[in-house]
Amino acid sequence: MDHYVGPDRLALDVVEGPIAARRVRASGAYVALLRPRHWVKCSLVLVAPVTAPPEVIPHLGGIVLTLLAFLSASSTVYVLNDLRDCAADRLHPVKRLRPLASGDVSFRGAVAMLVALLLVTVGLLVAVPPLAALILGGYVLMNIWYTLALKHQPLVDVSVVAAGFVLRVLAGAVAAGLDVQPLLLICVYCASVALSLGKRRHELAGLAVAGERHRPALSAYSVPFLDHVVVLNLVAALMCYLATMWQLKPPYGKVGAALTFPFAAFHVTRYLQMLIVERSGGDPVDDLMRDRQMRLNLGLWTAVLASTFLASFL
């Protein structure tokens, strides 16, 4: 009987096949709702620790927990954002494919996911170092406020997004027991403002009226204005990066600045080319993943940076 294959069994296979496929697709949709590709942004938690390898060894547990807490918190914010903007996302040519906007994940399923993520985030909040927990709590509250109101305020919206990246760097430094160079925070802030405004430029240039309905704050921007402000912030980020590297332990700081600045400058130039000439820039993470020049440059940049930091502590 176990090996019987008849009409009934064949009919069952025909039914089970699509059911299994739907289950796999549904599972993938719930994973996509978390936006795992964007978890790379949480690597900023590690920026301060990697600059001082010997000092952070006693704090590795706190650093890892802080990283996990930000991964959970960022996914919580993404789900909340998708719940809040589901109707508007359906007007967007790309965002309409998101799991909730496309209908692959139900509203009730997304709410259940949000509650589960909140519980995980709170649990990790208790486990991380107290000051890092305070920063993480501020990050979550700020992003809730952003989702509910601030994202519709021109310039305030990108400032809040940039502040979220700065808080990641700050929390990583606190978890590692390190002081953070103010110029590093300014560098991260300016670069984040530039990327956020670049994203809005892409939407404004490509979506016209539909873009303004999707994101009302776009009505306060123009493409020339955004071009100027993006370049201004990228130049400021480059200068702060150079100054941050220069302040590392002599002589490696100056050597590292000289060796890595060309990679930083190329990255900025390539981003501007993609944004202005190639009309991309709608998602900086996607741009980084799909562009071979940026991937290669980032790999070389990271390798030289790592060699500089390691050499300075030998």
Is there a cis peptide before residue 36, judged by omega within 30 degrees of 0? no
Range of the domain at 55: 10-179
Provide the residue type at 239 as one letter.
Answer: M
In which band, very low, low, confident or very high, does the pLDDT at 312 lie, cut at 50, 70 and 90? low
Whether 27 shows a pLDDT value over 80: the answer reads no
**233 and 218 inside one domain:** yes
**80 and 137 inside one domain:** yes
In which band, very low, low, confident or very high, does the pLDDT at 290 lie, cut at 50, 70 and 90? confident
In angstroms, how far is the first alpha carbon of the chain from the final one? 70
Could you say which of 179, 207, 233 is where a domain stops?
Answer: 179
The conformational region for residue 279 under phi > 0 = left, psi -120 to 50 = alpha, else beta, is left
Say what the pLDDT of residue 20 is. Answer: 46
**19 and 163 inside one domain:** yes
Residue 239 belongs to a domain = yes
Query: What tokens does 275 get?
Result: 């944004």
Could you say which of 179, 198, 228 is where a domain stops?
Answer: 179
What total number of domains does the chain contain? Answer: 2
Using CA atoms, how far apart are residues 47 and 52, in angstroms rounded to an integer? 10
Residue 1 belongs to a domain = no
Q: 45: domain CATH number?
A: 1.10.357.140
**148 and 206 inside one domain:** no
Residue 3 belongs to a domain = no
Whether 17 shows a pLDDT value over 80: the answer reads no
Whether 4 shows a pLDDT value over 50: the answer reads no
Could you say which of 179, 196, 216 is where a domain stops?
Answer: 179
% pLDDT > 90, the chain: 46
Residue 4 belongs to a domain = no
Say what the pLDDT of residue 91 is. Answer: 76
CA 265 to chain centre: 21
